[in-house]
Structure 1
Amino acid sequence: MHVMDLLYARAQMGLSLAFHILFAAAGIALPLLMVLSDLKARWTRDPDYTALSVKLAKGTAILFAVGAVSGTVLSFELGLLWPGFMGTWGEVIGLPFALEGTAFFTEAVFLGIYLYGRDRISPGLHLFSGVMVALSGAASAFFVTLVNTFMNDPVGFTLTAGGPVDVDPVAAMFSPGWVHQTSHTLLACYQASAFAMVGIHALVLLRHPGLAFHRKALSVALPLACLSALVQPLVGHQSAEHVARAQPVKLAAAEGLFQTQRGAPLSVGGLPDVETGTMRYALELPRGLSLLAFSDPNAEVKGLDAFPRDEWPPVTKVHLAFQVMVGAGSAMALLALVTLVLRWRRGAWPEGRRMLGAWLVCGPLGAVAMEAGWLVTEWGRQPWILRGVMRTADAVTPVGSLAVPFWTFTLVYLFLGVMVVFLLVRQVAGTVPHARAPHEVAHAH
């Protein structure tokens, strides 16, 4: 196959996943926020929380529809662009795909009940349907992530010249590292969505101080944003420890470690120079990598020199994506910690302009960190589509002219993205007054 067709196939799959993951993440997290709003409405009898749950339900429906479209496209692309992978390994890893479909169907059914049953079924049954939407959405992400875990740690079969035999679908589904990777992914979905929601409402409050609806929306989203931001680094650390043992070449690329060494330093920032095998402009913390990866400051960490050159991932891209993920995650964790300290001292969520401005700036960081983390996972596995078993170049379709579907789907995703932003902006704008009388402004202050 022509090298450009391989690049177009990878680019199309990457574009589809980068688009899908944003809307899928929101579709996973918004139902939880929707249920939390419903619970607060039941506890407080406050109509603003009911209105918030209605708007979150509409947002969930919009994102669910776009996620369904982009997810369907992805399922076709897996078979059409990568027949070498799906044709050979589909029977090994087909179980989580089937379970994900079941979870998706369940989510669709209960979302319909939640959307159209608010005034037609009992409040308890309506709340139950919302809980089922949240659980089935999380289950869908869980099963899809198991497939990616298998691609990074393939087990559950015996490899022969004719392909996999003695297949154990359950062992393949729960390959090593599944706990860390699924936890990391689900937390990223909740964190990205909660931070985005806080950022949106912070923007409205900066422009229109005192709007009660948006203050109450912050009280729903801030706890989830702070909790996920503080737990995520701990889960990410455990995931990195697993990567250090199971995928050392990915860790070496992420850290720009070219030489195997004991007491390996931790590189903060910097730019890898693959030609000379050095890191430029990096701040190195002595023995930091050995300590974080193996809980031993003198532990040996394998560098890129321990692996054949043709099995190196794209070092510069992996390192930069990893630095973006860690940097964004650290900023969010710091903001969450400051917010919780102020909440503890003042007995209320902070609403000052500085804190609202900080949340506005950090609002997109959850999505940035999630996309960067996904790039680390995927780029760090290259040149393998199934690590150590099948190379990406061996799995791609022999059909040429892949530039045509790439640009076609790029335009489709661009159109869908614009429409989704337009619809979501209308949902938020519906709660913002166009103008307020002077006595209302004074009362708000």
Structure 2
Amino acid sequence: MRDLLAGVLAQGATPGDLAAARTQMAFSLGWHIIIACFGVGMPALTVFMEWRALRTGDVAYESLARTWARAMGVLFAVGAVSGTILSFEMGLLWPGLMGRFGDVIGLPFTLEGFAFFIEAIFLGIYLYAWDRLRPWVHVLTGLPIIIAGVASAFFVVTANAWMNQPRGFDISNGEVTGVRPWEAMFNPATPPQTVHMIIAALMVAGFGTAAVYAVALLRGKRDRHHRLGFLVPFTAAAALAPVQVVVGDWAAHFLAEFQPLKLAAIEGLPRTTAGAPLSLGGVYADGELRHALEIPNALSLLAHWDPDAVVLGLDQAPAELQPPVNVVHLSFQLMVGIGFALVALGMWLALAWWRHRDLPHSRWFLRAAAVAGPAAALAVEAGWVVTEVGRQPWVVYNVLLTRDAVNPQPGLLAGLLIVLTVYAALTVATIYVLRRLARLGPVPARAVAPQESPPGPAHTDADADGTRS
């Protein structure tokens, strides 16, 4: 097996500027993924707030829904730009991948295009027909936005999952034959990877939105608008945090079975070991993980439900085919650390609400909540580093080396500089527009007439601060 892999390494031409291509792709994806997370999560939050406004007649809910819809429109436009850049980069930077396997992974990209157009159409209706449609009809126009946003994320991630577990094709005499797009799309990596990403997107949107209001609460804005603006998205994201821990365990079991080398890099496990320990922290140097806190047999237990199970180490592959261990290991540690911190923060709120029906009285809670938004985004970035760098040096796992997929033509460094300039301008413009919107303050809401509510038994709902509407 080692001789076969060594033979693979000897094939193919050296690319022109692999580092520039990888840097450009990593930067573009890392920038876009955060905007995409808000595109997945904010429609659900916005439509929920409008629904609550119609159910309760509380104008604070509607004011928040209108305010968030305004920001949602800006972020959708920005995401459309950055997503378009990514689609061009796939072909321009990686012709060895798209030229050879485009027929295999073309289906999810096509379906994502349909989802994008559905999202764009109904977002336009939702934003511009708010006062032109009956209230409950308007709420219903928001549902396709939610579904299409989640579907877009699903379809794109299935293509990335295929790169981790390539299926749905045959290779005959070096040519790709027998293409089976549905099999490629629903590969073994699809379930854990798509669920993990969609939950992460919802958490980023929830904690990110709540962070804005946490800052406002720290500045003394304790009115109902700001309390609801904090509590609703924060509660939704905090409720998903422990679910994400369970999904992460599912993903670890997947890696143990299908990508053991990535798991070995995540844990910095140099040698195949029975009863392998779980390592917390540490730095990989000279073929060993140093300065780590080890929990005996825990990795074997987590990966195989057996404390004495054998876990494959980095020695299963030659050094040339091993991912950069420190990048993968430290990124994973960062992601997991943030994840458990967010779980603890959610438990802090749950305990305070159970005891006092109120936010924790400590200002440190609000400070931590303000940090939770950027921290959740950082965890997503770290997770993508683990996913992508942990697969290296393969762009298609055990099939196509990254260096053989890159565009061999010169000039990629110049392209990187151009893209960095474009994204710098896009970042400045996005922040400027969002800050201008923030300075305008909450969007005024109209009172919801009783006859606009759907038929059903009368009821009252508790406000976020424990009072009655």
Do they fold alike, i.e. is TM over 0.5? yes
Aligned to 1:120: 132
Deviates more, 1:70-79 or 1:354-363: 354-363
User: Aligned residue for 2:329?
Assistant: 319
- Aligned AA (1:315): V
Question: 2:253·2:303 contact (CA, 8 Å) conserved in 1?
Answer: yes
- Counterpart Cα distance in 2 of 1:90 and 1:241: 29
In structure 2, the partner of 1:365 is 375
| 2:348 partner letter | V
Aligned residue type for 1:309: A
Matched, 1:237 2:249: yes
Q: Which of 361, 364, 369 is matched with 1:354 structurally?
A: 364
Whether 1:141 aligns to 2:157 is no
| Secondary structure class of the residue paired with 1:198 | helix
Q: Are 2:80 and 1:68 aligned? A: yes
Letter matched to residue 156 of structure 1: G
Structure-1 residue corresponding to 2:43: 31
Deviation at 1:223, TM superposition (A): 2.1
Opposite residue 307 of structure 1, the aligned amino acid is: A
Amino acid at match of 1:142: F
Q: Comparing both chains, which one has the higher relative contact order based on Cα–Cα distances under 8 Å and sequence gaps of 6 or more?
A: 2
Contact 1:226–1:340 under 8 Å retained in 2? no
AA paired with 2:269? L
CA distance in 2, matches of 1:383, 1:354: 43
Q: Which residue of 1 aligns with 2:65?
A: 53
What residue identity is the alignment partner of 2:178?
A: D
SS at match of 1:381: coil
Residue 272 of structure 1 aligns to a residue in which SS? strand
- CA shift, 1:353, in A, is 2.1
CA deviation vs aligned residue, 1:124-163 (integer Å, no higher than 9, x gap): 2211111111110010000000000000000111122232
Distance 1:406 1:2, change over 3 A: farther
Specify which of 91, 96, 117 is matched with residue 79 of structure 1.
91
Q: Are 2:187 and 1:187 equivalent residues in the alignment?
A: no
Report the equivalent of 1:309: 319
Pairwise CA distance, 1:45: 1.3
The whole-number CA distance in structure 2 between the counterparts of 1:279 and 1:379 is: 18
Match of 1:400 among 405, 410, 422: 410
Which whole-Å CA distance do the structure 2 matches of 1:43 and 1:74 have between them?
41
For 1:200 and 1:351, locate their aligned partners in 2 and report how far apart those are by CA, in whole Å.
Answer: 18
- The amino acid that maps onto 1:28 is V
What is the rounded CA distance, in whole Å, between the counterparts of 2:221 and 2:69 in structure 1?
Answer: 25
TM-score, normalized by length of structure 2?
0.89
TM-score by length of 1: 0.94
Give the counterpart letter for 1:311 in structure 2: L
Q: Which amino acid aligns with 2:325?
A: V
How far is the alpha carbon of 1:358 from its aligned partner? 2.0
For residue 364 of structure 1, give the secondary structure of its aligned residue in structure 2: helix
- For 2:16 and 2:155, locate their aligned partners in 1 and report how far apart those are by CA, in whole Å: 32
Match of 2:390 in 1: 380
Q: Does 1:410 align with 2:420?
A: yes
Q: How much does 1:2 deviate?
A: 6.0
Which residue of 289, 292, 295 corresponds with 1:285? 295
Task: Provide the rounded CA distance (Å) in 2 between the counterparts of 1:366 and 1:69.
Answer: 23
Deviations 1:7-56 (A, max 9, x none): 10111111110111011111111111101111111122122211111111
Contact 2:14 2:403 in 1 (8 A): no
Are the counterparts in 2 of residues 230 and 336 from structure 1 also a CA contact under 8 Å? Answer: no
Shift of 1:354: 2.9
Query: Counterparts of 1:142 and 1:356 in 2: how far apart (Å)?
Result: 33
* 2:279–2:294 Cα contact (<8 Å) kept: yes
Confirm whether residue 107 of structure 1 aligns to residue 111 of structure 2.
no
Aligned residues between the structures: 430
Q: Deviations over 1:194-246 (max 9, x none)?
A: 11111110101110242221101123212211112121111011011101110
The CA distance in 2 between the partners of 1:392 and 1:162, in whole Å, is: 17
Offset, 1:266: 0.6
What is the RMSD computed on CA atoms of the aligned residues? 1.4
What SS class does the counterpart of residue 222 from structure 2 fall into? coil
Question: Structure 2 CA distance, aligned partners of 1:194 and 1:6?
Answer: 36
Shift of 1:277: 1.2
1:329 corresponding residue in structure 2: 339
Q: Distance in 2 between matches of 1:211 and 1:280?
A: 51
Amino acid corresponding to residue 328 of structure 1 in structure 2: I
Conserved in 2, the CA contact under 8 Å of 1:213 and 1:431?
Answer: no
Counterpart AA for 2:264: A
- Please tell me whether the aligned partners of residues 275 and 310 of structure 2 are also in contact (alpha carbons under 8 angstroms): yes
Letter of the structure 2 residue corresponding to residue 374 of structure 1: W
Contact 2:269 2:314 in 1 (8 A): yes
Deviation at 1:363, TM superposition (A): 2.4
1:337 maps to a residue whose letter is M
Aligned equivalent of 1:205: 217
SS of 2:390's equivalent in the other structure is helix
Name the SS for the 2:148 alignment partner.
helix
Deviation of the 1:352 alpha carbon? 4.5
Residue identity opposite 1:363 in structure 2:
G
| Contact in 2 for aligned 1:5/1:403 (Cα 8 Å) | yes
Match of residue 342 from structure 1: 352
CA distance in 1, matches of 2:418, 2:299: 43
Structure 1 counterpart SS, 2:417: helix
